Structure 1
Amino acid sequence: MAFQEILMRIGGMGRYQVIHVILLSLPVLMLASHNLLQNFTAAIPEHRCRLNTSLESGNFSGVWVESFIPVESSGKPSKCFRYTSPQFHLINVNSSRNTSDAESEPCIEGWVYDDSEYSSTIITQVWSQTFEHMVKPSDVFVEWIPTEARAFTSTGTGYCYTVGQLVLVGLAYLIQDWRMLQLAASIPFFIYFIYSWWLPESSRWLVLSGKYEQAIIDMKKVARINGKTEEGEKLTVEVIKYDMQREINAASKANYTVLDLIRTPVIRRISLCISCTWFSTSFAYYGLAMDLQKFGLSIYIIQVIFGTVDIPAKFISYFIMTYIGRRVLQAFALILAGVAILVNIFVPEDYHVARIAMVVFGKGCLAASFNCVYLFTGELYPTVIRQTGMGMGTLMARLGGIVAPLVQMTTDFYHHLPLIIFSLCPILSGITASLLPETLGVPLPETIQEVERTGHKDEVTRYAEEMALKNTEYETINGKF
């Protein structure tokens, strides 16, 4: 509470905070390009088996192609097999009857790719490692922003990720060579790295770590930028110690480690629930967003649709976070996303519009969940372990992103199994998210003890409300008799 009061004295949501949010939001703009880049760099173009050298023309139609490439039961040319000898009698035969018992073989001489949509991808050339940069503005972003402005600024930063998805479409359309596309999406991060040194560390964390002089220097800089130079000059070591005495005393009693995320009951519950939330949101989000080719539309169109749905999703999530609460949004966004994905199991395969609509709705719900969890996590953990808690959350998100592609492989066992897994995970996590404490309008906690007291108080309050309700019902029943 004391640091929030100091923050308000040196400008609150002033000029510095606006600059701070903008500079931390710019990397998020290109973050989407890196996270979803493989939809384009690793796209699989239309392809067929390569014929022997003397017959290969690079075309996808013609006498030799039609006589060597089998037709699958779906009526489409095979992508993985070719006849060992030409089947001329099948040319110009109806595709549903264009089959043969002739001997076939795998694509032993490789494949021919259609380059009309992609000049080159990792698949058509060599596979290359890519690096996913998760540099989300986490605790540094939250701690310099006043309580009442946190939801607005967090949503604004989330929109940068949305715009970044649309920027990716433009880049991929203009730059069809995967190497140049990778380079174009990476260069801006060198600029972000350079100016990141200008951004100050969290002064709250510096104070609680005993680095008073550096904290005062940073707060005076913020005050000067906000036009509150006089208030900044009043800040001294003695003033800081006096205003934040309770937080400093509590923080100085222990050395905090990752074990503090599970050491006490309320923090342990928060860590468990928030880990499930991060994992399932990323797991389902990237499970949908990294497999766009399966929808049958142009990948550019479907990427625009998937990016655009975030605009209303995050707009609605802002109002829910601001006026109803973070916990409600987090729980319902995950549950609705899971239900939307699950419904697709019962929608017939040929109802393409309905299937895409449900998946897009689910992706929008997951975008709202992402928008909330970044803010929610920073508000749940106290300053002394906030960075550790945020790190654990993003680690779980990365784990979810890693596991998501593996789940697609379960379709070999049961066609709908990936959808079942992608739906049940957010539904169960949405239920666990309902166990988290609400942080709407609550100042950032400074110490573990503060979180524990608040958490136990919430439990006592809920118990008292339940007992009061039961007593009211009991009196009402007795009154009737």
Structure 2
Amino acid sequence: MAFQDLIIQIGSLGRFQILHMIFVLICHALSAPHTLLENFTAAIPSHRCWVPILDNDTASDNGSRILSQDDLLRISIPLDSNLRPDKCRRYIQPQWHLLHLNGTFPTVTEPDTEPCVDGWVYDQSTFLSTTVTQWDLVCGSQALNSVAKFIYMTGIFIGYIMGGHLSDKFGRKLIFTCSLLKMAITETCVAFAPSFLIYCSLRFLSGIFSSTLRTNSALLILEWTSPKFQALVMALIFIASGVGQTLLGGLAFAFRNWHHLQLALSVPMFLLLIPTRWLSESARWLIMANKPQKSLKELKKAACVNRIKNSGDALTLEVVKTIMKEELEAAQTKPSPLDLFRTPNLRKRICLLSFVRFVSVMSLLGLLINIQYLSNNVFLLQCLYGVVCIPANVLGNFSMNYMGRRMTQLIFMSVLGISILAVVFLPQGQLL
């Protein structure tokens, strides 16, 4: 805890930390929506097979122009098990006799059908364009839509592993800045992907940079605050993510073309590169990396911005080395990830908390990345999710301060489980 003494000496939550926090929160608000972006850019609209008699403007066979669209649809598209027009098959030949059956079916052999060999017609009332409509990811290719989400989540998983290792080796600020730049580039390029393979590749890279960005941005502010305020900082970070999810719902409602929505969330990230030149590296990491001179410089800068009188003058290289003597000695040995599992108590805690995190994230993300299937109004549901995050994290921070981490974890995990079970038993289409 020696480093925390230095933080208290220069101001544990002053103007320096607040300015850094505002920047970090903005980064989280713009990066978090990319996780659920495919709820809109990869939405699956209503669709049916393209048929000449319906969709070819020059078709006028058998006087079809005098028939209504419903009649033409009835003789061109078979009905599925729910008595709705089939999404993936069509009649090989128009079934004119169906116009005279008054809703009944003859006892003759079923007419021959075929897949949608000429493509699909998509409903554009909600989304003008999505990746599904661009690359026809429906029917036999619908599984590719889930593959794209899986690839992005795999990138996030790899990014969390790489991000921690790289930040320990090269510093929080450098990895954060590089991740921000690369995420902005890849997510902007996604909007211009010429093929589905390139789209998935770019999303995979974006997932890596996204998790690396969020990991290092959180470390940059957490390592500049004392333990007293770290729970508050994390709550604010999650609140910023909720604001970003609400922003996603609003932008998705405004931009119904997936290219435009992708650019609307990606291009502003380039602007965040400008303030990074004034961002300070973690003084703690500088000390652990055996760079006490640079650490002292950052500590004095923080004390000056926080207007702590005489604190900057009292900070000297000898003082820093004395206070951080144990940490500097520990930095001489290269730790291994296996060290986390050598001590029984630490091993038990890591395994239990990792399991809790895995269960909560898997169940929650399982719902959120398929939010289109929960409601007909996906825009409103997305905004509600973001809005609910704000009071939930305020309540969580209050609960941790007065009830402790353990009891808070137990209560909120129970509420999460009950809520997910309640969703299962709700009638389809009754969420909103």
Encode CA deviations 1:87-106: one digit per residue, 9 max, x unaligned: 23434877797998222221
| Aligned 1:57-456 pairs, distance under 5 A | 61-91=69-99, 101-126=110-135, 127=196, 128-129=199-200, 130=203, 131-132=206-207, 133-134=210-211, 135-136=213-214, 137-249=217-329, 251-252=330-331, 254-345=333-424, 347=425, 349=427, 352-353=429-430, 356=431
Give the TM-score normalised by structure 2.
0.74
Residues 43 and 123 of structure 1 are in contact (CA less than 8 Å); yes or no, is this contact kept in structure 2? yes
2:47–2:121 Cα contact (<8 Å) kept: yes
Amino acid at match of 1:123: V
Amino acid at match of 1:110: G
Secondary structure, in 3 states, of the residue corresponding to 1:82?
A: strand
Following the alignment from structure 2 to structure 1, what is the Cα–Cα distance between the partners of residues 223 and 20? 11
2:270 & 2:381 partners in 1: Cα distance?
30
Task: Write the deviation string for residues 273-314 of structure 1: whole angstroms up to 9, x where unpaired.
Answer: 332233223222221011122124122122122222223322
State the partner residue of 1:471.
Answer: none
**Does the CA contact (< 8 Å) of 1:52 and 1:109 recur in 2?**
no
Determine the C-alpha separation between the residues in 2 that align with 1:332 and 1:194.
42
The whole-number CA distance in structure 2 between the counterparts of 1:179 and 1:155 is 32
SS in 2 for 1:144: coil
Note the C-alpha offset of 1:66: 2.0
Q: Tell me, what secondary structure is at the counterpart of 1:70? A: coil
SS of the residue aligned with 1:77?
coil
Counterpart secondary structure, 2:134:
coil
2:133 aligned counterpart, secondary structure: coil
User: Hey, what's the Cα distance between the residues in 2 that align with 1:258 and 1:329?
Assistant: 28
Structure 2: unaligned runs, 5 residues or longer? 60-66, 136-195
Whole-Å Cα distance in 2 between the matches of residues 53 and 73 of structure 1?
Answer: 24
CA deviation string 1:161-182 (max 9, x = no partner): 1111111122112222211211
Tell me, yes or no, if the aligned pair for 1:220 and 1:232 is still in contact at 8 Å: yes
Flag the 1:103–1:148 CA change in 2: closer, same or farther, 3 A: same
**Which residue of the partner structure matches residue 25 of structure 2?**
25
Amino acid at match of 2:82: S
Q: Distance in 1 between matches of 2:314 and 2:103?
A: 84
Aligned to 2:42: 42
Structure 1: gaps (5+ residues): 358-481
Higher mean displacement: 239-248 or 1-10: 239-248
Q: 1:97 to 1:25 in 2, by over 3 A?
A: farther
CA contact (8 A) 2:54 2:72 kept: no
Deviation at 1:214, TM superposition (A): 0.7
Question: For residues 68 and 341 of structure 2, what CA distance do their matches in structure 1 show?
Answer: 59
Cα distance in structure 2, aligned partners of 1:259 and 1:313: 35
* Counterpart contact for 2:49–2:120, Cα < 8 Å: yes
The letter for the 2-side match of 1:280 is V
Per-residue Cα deviation, 1:306-365 (whole angstroms, up to 9, x for no partner) = 2222233222211112211222222332333223323444x2635x44xx38xxxxxxxx
Contact 2:242 2:385 (8 Å CA) reproduced = no
| Corresponding residue of 1:418 | none
Moved more, 217-226 or 303-312: 303-312
C-alpha contact 1:32 1:168 (8 A) present in aligned 2: no
Q: Distance in 2 between matches of 1:243 and 1:287?
A: 47
CA distance in 2, matches of 1:199, 1:266: 37
Give the direction of change, closer, same or farther, for the CA distance of 1:95–1:27 in structure 2 (3 Å limit): farther
- CA distance in structure 2 between the partners assigned to 1:96 and 1:34 by the alignment: 49
Question: Shift of residue 84 of structure 1?
Answer: 1.6
- How far apart are residue 229 of structure 1 and its match? 4.9
Instruction: Tell me by how many angstroms 1:63 deviates.
Output: 2.6
Task: Give yes or no for contact 1:49–1:107 (8 Å, CA) kept in 2.
Answer: yes
The 1-side partners of 2:287 and 2:245 are apart by 38
Instruction: Note closer, same or farther for the CA distance 1:141–1:84 as it changes in structure 2 (3 Å cut).
Output: same
Question: How far apart, CA to CA, are the structure 1 residues paired with 2:418 and 2:80?
Answer: 34
- 1:13 corresponding residue in structure 2: 13
Change (3 A) 1:296 1:252: closer
Q: Partners in 2 of 1:61 and 1:32 — Cα distance?
A: 43
How far apart, CA to CA, are the structure 2 residues paired with 1:256 and 1:297? 51
Spell out, residue by residue over 1:388-421, the C-alpha distance to the aligned partner (whole angstroms, 9 max, x if none): xxxxxxxxxxxxxxxxxxxxxxxxxxxxxxxxxx
Task: Please state which structure has a larger fraction of its residues in helix.
Answer: 2
Which residue in 2 is equivalent to 1:407?
A: none
Amino acid aligned to 2:371: L
Residue 310 of structure 2: SS of its match in structure 1?
A: helix
Asked if structure 2 preserves the Cα contact closer than 8 Å seen for 1:50 and 1:110, the reply is yes
The DSSP-based 3-state class of the residue aligned with 1:119 is: coil
Tell me which stretches of 4 or more aligned residues in structure 1 moved more than 6 Å: 92-100
Percentage of matched positions with identical amino acids: 34
> How many angstroms does 1:241 deviate by?
1.9
Instruction: Work out the CA distance in 2 between the residues paired with 1:286 and 1:147.
Output: 29
